[in-house]
Amino acid sequence: MQTQLRIAVQKSGRLSDDSIQLIRECGIKFYNGAGKLKTEATNFPAELLFLRDDDIPRYVEDGVADIGIIGENVFVETQSQADLVKRLGFSKCRLSLALPKAVDYQGVQQFDGMRIATSYPNLLNKYFAGKGIKADIHEISGSVEIAPSIGLADAVCDIVSSGSTLLSNGLKEVETIFESEAVMIARKELGPLKEAILKKLLFRIESVQKAKG
């Protein structure tokens, strides 16, 4: 059988449509039947895997997938050993600290000693360590923005794009700690055959990006 590059993309979520569109714009054709976990490209030596985005770094490290498209926030948070091979320019967002609207914000030192809910404890710890701030970080996996209103935390550190989710939960964004976009990651030591396929794919992605300006 011909060697195929296994590409992991988010099954459903904020990265999915743009990831699939990018692959199609590269001239790679495939059928993605609803609910299918895996599909083969018909005109390029690649196979697509549809997975939860949070699992993609692990699958790439373990060699289940060769490359993957994820948010840079997840790539850095998971301390992935994979290589970042390309910034893709979509799914732009930021990781920000937010406080209840009524709290007067004086500066980042104010977070010292606070209880902060986040899904990104590693990124937040690193940011605070650089500023000498010690906070009580509570890792929660979803609906972070409700934590202050239910008394679980004094502040949150969460993904923001427009800020409307924060506002509707009575919070205000006060500090950006990380800027993110979709990135392509690759397993180390793919071997010459897969390296060659990846190179071809990256060349096509660059052409697509150039055409868009």
- By the criterion CB under 6 A, which residues form the site for ligand ATP? 13-15, 52-54, 71, 73-74, 91, 93, 159, 161, 180
Which of ligand ATP, Zn ion, none has residue 73 at its interface (CB below 5 to 8 Å by kind)? ligand ATP
CA distance linking residue 126 with residue 131, whole number of Å = 9
- When the beta carbons of 78 and 110 are compared against ligand ATP, the nearer one is 78
Which of Zn ion, ligand ATP, none has residue 14 at its interface (CB below 5 to 8 Å by kind)? ligand ATP
- When the beta carbons of 110 and 180 are compared against ligand ATP, the nearer one is 180
- When the beta carbons of 53 and 154 are compared against Zn ion, the nearer one is 53
CA distance linking residue 146 with residue 137, whole number of Å = 15
Q: Give just the sign of the alpha carbon dihedral 195, 199, 201, 205.
A: positive
Position of minimal CB gap to ligand ATP: 71
- Closest distance between Zn ion and the C-beta of residue 173, in Å? 21
- When the beta carbons of 17 and 54 are compared against Zn ion, the nearer one is 54
- Closest distance between ligand ATP and the C-beta of residue 203, in Å? 25
- Closest distance between ligand ATP and the C-beta of residue 90, in Å? 8
End-to-end CA distance of the chain: 38
Q: Which residues of 44-66 are buried (b: 16+ CB within 10 A; e: fewer)?
A: bbbbbbbbebbbbbebbbeebbb
CA distance linking residue 207 with residue 21, whole number of Å = 14
Q: Which residues of 171-194 are buried (b: 16+ CB within 10 A; e: fewer)?
A: bebbbebbebebbbbbbeebeeeb
- When the beta carbons of 13 and 89 are compared against Zn ion, the nearer one is 13
- Closest distance between ligand ATP and the C-beta of residue 73, in Å? 5
